[in-house]
Amino acid sequence: MVVLIGAYVASLFLVERGEEGYHTFWDGWLYTVATLLPVVALAVRARVDRALRTVWALLALGLLATWLADLAYTYHDVNLDDIPIPGLSDVLYLAAYPFWISGIVLLALRSIGDEYRSTLLDSVVTGFTVGAIASATWLDPLMVTAAEDGQVALSLAFACCDLLMVVVSVVALTPGVRRATPAGVAVLLAAAWFGLGDILYLNLVTRDAYHDGTWVDATWAIAVAIFGLAGWLRSTPSGPPSPPAVGLGRTPAIAALASLALLVVATWHRVAGLAVGLAAAALALALIRVLWTVRVLRRINEGYQQARTDDLTGLGNRRHFLERVDRLGTSGGPLTVLVIDLDGFKEVNDSLGHPVGDQLLVEVGRRFQGACTDRWVLARLGGDEFGLVAAAGEREATEVAHQLLATLDGAIELDGIPVRVSASIGISTSPSGTFRRADLIRTADVAMYEAKRTGAGATAYRPELDPRGLDRLALVDDLCRAIEERSFRMAYQPILRAADLEVESVELLLRWDHPRRGALAPGEFLVVARQAGLIPQITRMVVDQGLADLAPLWRTGARVGLNVNISADDLVDDSFADHVLSALERHGAAPERLTVEITETELASDLQRARRTLERLRAVGVQVSIDDFGVGYSSLSQLLGLPIDQVKIDREFLAALERDQRAQAIVRSTVELGRTLGLVVVAEGVESPASLAIVQRAGVDLVQGFLLELPAPIGSLASTLGRRAVRAGALDPVRLR
């Protein structure tokens, strides 16, 4: 096909056509055969391409009409001297257009989904405007001639049809309206070539300068060839569909403006009636298109809202929440997410039924909404879980969390039944610029579960809480191995008598030299150990090791005591006391030498069971010390009801001692409390001579801190004891001031 048409086009330039301008072989037979092949190509495509069968069939029929027209023309040319106007060939040429145009329109419709339909109007607006401008500037003067000259009138009709076809093709293929396909583009090009040929022809005919067999004839041949090629090309788009263009596109908007301009010009300048009509139609269509757009937008907006609203509570839903998190995350500042889970909701649902459960959720949602400012976006994430997000820091979020909790303080009346629920809130903040949505929500979840576990109400995320934290699992694995291999290191920090600074006892502080992470402080691995349930094993190991380390010293007659730190998990472990007692026995240690330290906060978590264990230990003579005293805010009366021997004032107060009168007052009142109840009062974290002086003056019994002795391995303990004993005799504590 390409070779034959190529040969024909070449002949137009190479083969002399003579006076008639017509060569029977080239322009008759070769042309006829060559242009039949594209018809065959399109017909074959119509048979194989099921999806676009009608489209290809229409295009093929159009092309067949032009082929027949050429044949008729050749027939006239060969057999008649005068070709009638209009002749059979002209009728056939014109007959091609309805096929082509309907084929192209169908192609466009087939490739445009329902949601794109409105964009077809855009193209019609553009097409009408092009038509209006063309008729005002170019067609109108020709019309005058056309009225007198049949030939001109005919070619004018061709040009108009071509123009229409080009416009329709552009309409169908406007980028952004739908995805252009190779076949579609080829059809457009073919239409454009036809148009070009007809326009050239029209211009020549009006000047009476057209002759057969010149290069102008090549344009039609090429157009037919391109049509044929389209039959071979892909008609399915390759990429994913682009989102539907909702608004009036730029091209139709410009077109509408041009139509308006043309109408304005028409008010003082004569413009062809056809042009005015087309321009007015274009404007009217543009207006319809805008109204249509408004309707579509409203529908989209409704759908958008619906898709982001929780039906039950009317709050935003999970999707809404995630989108808002993303949007706020781009603001650059800190971003905080709160995950709120109701406690006791399941019970309400199970016992009072789902409708009451639903009412409860609605009421809780209403209360939460009332408790936070507009800055916070509240959503129901599903079930009894709510989410809250704002570009805010952790402190502000914690305040909001407490406000939310406060809204659930009273009973909620549902169907006349008072119902009580509480909530657990997890808070996670991402510092400025480090936003990752999935992490933020997951860590807020982790914090929420921690809040649920501890009953704390609201808990802010800390990496130690995270059971799935980065290489947490690996860490748990390593911990198990370290316990098995007893590869921990024990550091001993002396606790001195405040009066003469002689060593009274040593506190065992656990160290872990991790194979890859280096030396880890207890704060870094004990939380993981707790979550993995490893605390009891660790404490037993610590007690054993401490007793084993000190036993040789005791055998030499040293009177130094041993303090070990224990956790809440040990106190609720009923066999813990037994283990300690048997270890004391095994190492031949007097129970009075051992002091267990438990922090105030841990003690408060299960007072009843703690009391039982502590009483058993104390019954045999083991001392009990409350560590980090003063920061736990636990009720003093509760603590004082416990069997204890010692309180260790938290080092936070020691750090503030020199500048803060309140810290001094707390130290003094703790000493007083100790005196009244017969407790030993320890000040830990003594770092400066000034604070040592203050606690000595306040009457603290024992002191501990980096100023006095650093935690050190057992090997150096004997020499420390000796040195201390010598120095204590010579040292006047007052000189340390």
Catalog residues that contact ligand C2E under the rule CB under 6 A: 493, 508-510, 521-523, 526, 539, 542, 565-567, 597, 599, 627-628, 651, 684-687, 704-706, 711
The closest alpha carbon to 539, from 493, 508, 585, belongs to 508
In this structure, what token pair is assigned to residue 125?
């607006």
Nearer to ligand C2E, 250 or 489 (CB): 489
Write out the two tokens for 700: 């603290």
Choices 385-393, 452-460, 498-506, 596-604; region in contact with Mg ion by CB under 5 A: 596-604
Which one of the spans 306-314, 621-629, 655-663, 717-725 is the region binding Mg ion (CB under 5 A)? 621-629
Residue (432 or 575) nearer to ligand C2E, CB: 575
**Could you tell me the smallest distance in angstroms from the CB atom of residue 736 to ligand C2E?**
14
> Residue 603 CB, nearest distance to Mg ion (Å)?
13
Residue with Cβ nearer ligand C2E (186 or 566): 566
Q: How far apart are alpha carbons 12 and 23 in whole angstroms?
A: 10
Q: Quick check: 628 binds Mg ion (CB under 5 A)? A: yes
Alpha carbon distances (Å) from 468 to 454, 472, 474, 640: 18, 6, 10, 38
The answer to whether 96 touches 63, Cβ cutoff 8 Å, is yes
Q: Which does 526 bind (CB under 5 to 8 A by kind): Mg ion, ligand C2E, none?
A: ligand C2E
Name which of 504 and 684 has its Cβ closer to ligand C2E.
Answer: 684
Return the one option of ligand C2E, Mg ion, none that residue 304 interacts with (CB less than 5 to 8 A, by type).
Answer: none
CB of 434 to ligand C2E, least distance (A): 27
Contact pick of 597, 600, 602, 709 for Mg ion (by CB under 5 A): 597
Candidates 10-18, 92-100, 358-366, 626-634: pick the segment binding Mg ion (CB under 5 A): 626-634
How far is the C-alpha of 492 from the C-alpha of 710, rounded, in Å? Answer: 8
Q: Minimal distance in Å, beta carbon 467 to Mg ion?
A: 26
Q: What does 522 interact with, of Mg ion, ligand C2E, none (CB < 5 to 8 A by kind)?
A: ligand C2E
Beta strand segments in 391-448, E: 412-414, 417-419, 422-430
User: Of 401 and 654, which CB lies nearer to Mg ion in the complex structure?
Assistant: 654
Q: How many residues of this chain bind Mg ion (CB under 5 A)?
A: 4
Q: How far is the CB of 664 from ligand C2E (least distance, A)?
A: 17
Helix axes 117-134, 273-307, angle to 10 degrees: 160
Please, what is the minimum distance in Å from the beta carbon of residue 350 to ligand C2E? 39
The sign of the dihedral angle between the CA atoms of 525, 529, 534, 539 is positive
CA angle 347, 348, 349 (to 5 degrees): 90
CB of 704 to Mg ion, least distance (A): 9
- We find the least distance from the C-beta atom of residue 630 to ligand C2E, in angstroms, to be 12
Nearer to ligand C2E, 483 or 642 (CB): 483
Residue whose CB is less far from Mg ion, 252 or 685? 685
CB of 495 to Mg ion, least distance (A): 10
Q: Would you report the helix, strand and coil content of the chain in percent, each value rounded to 5?
A: 60, 15, 25
Looking at beta carbons only, is 445 or 600 nearer to Mg ion?
Answer: 600
CA angle, 90 then 92 then 97, to 5°: 100
Could you write out the three-class secondary structure of 465-534? HCCCCCCHHHHHHHHHHHHHHCCCEEEEEEEEECCCCCEEEEEEEEEEEECCCEEECHHHHHHHHHHCCC
Residue 54 dihedral angles phi and psi, to the nearest 5°: -65, -40
- Cβ atoms of residues 208 and 142 within 8 Å: no
Residue 715 binds which of ligand C2E, Mg ion, none (CB < 5-8 A, kind-dependent)? none
Secondary structure of residue 60 in the 3-state scheme: helix
Residue 724 interacting entry, from Mg ion, ligand C2E, none, C-beta within 5 to 8 Å by type: none
The rounded distance, in Å, linking the Cα atoms of 405 and 425 is 8
Nearer to ligand C2E, 473 or 521 (CB): 521
Task: Give whichever of 442 and 593 is closer to Mg ion, judged by the CB atom.
Answer: 593
Residue with smaller CB distance to ligand C2E, 181 or 493: 493
The rounded distance, in Å, linking the Cα atoms of 154 and 562 is 116
Phi-psi region of 223 (alpha: psi -120 to 50; beta: other; left: phi over 0): alpha
Half-sphere exposure of 322 (CA within 13 A, CB side): 10
Q: How far apart are the first and last CA of the chain?
A: 109
From the list 34-42, 128-136, 450-458, 594-602, the region that binds Mg ion by CB under 5 A is: 594-602
User: Least distance in Å: CB of 638 to ligand C2E?
Assistant: 20
Contact of residue 228 among ligand C2E, Mg ion, none (CB under 5-8 Å per partner type): none
Q: Are 169 and 191 in contact (CB under 8 A)?
A: yes
Residue 662: CB minimum distance to ligand C2E, A: 19
297 half-sphere exposure, CB direction, 13 A CA radius: 10
Closest separation in Å from C-beta 540 to ligand C2E:
11
In the complex, minimum distance from the CB of residue 317 to ligand C2E, in angstroms, rounded to a whole number? 44
Strand partners, 497: 702
As a residue count, the chain comes to: 737
The site string for Mg ion over 349-378 (x = CB under 5 A, - otherwise) reads: ------------------------------
In the complex with ligand C2E, the residue whose CB is nearer, 234 or 481, is: 481
Strand partners, 388: 338, 378
DSSP bridge pairs for 599: 627
In the complex, minimum distance from the CB of residue 568 to ligand C2E, in angstroms, rounded to a whole number: 9
Closest CB to Mg ion among residues 338, 717: 717
DSSP conformation class of 249: P
Pick one of Mg ion, ligand C2E, none as the site partner of residue 155 (Cβ within 5 to 8 A by kind): none
Q: Looking at beta carbons only, is 27 or 597 nearer to ligand C2E?
A: 597
Task: Report the site for Mg ion in 552-591 (rule: CB under 5 A).
Answer: 565
Closest CB to Mg ion belongs to which residue?
597
- What does the binding site for Mg ion look like in residue numbers (CB under 5 A)? 565, 597, 627-628
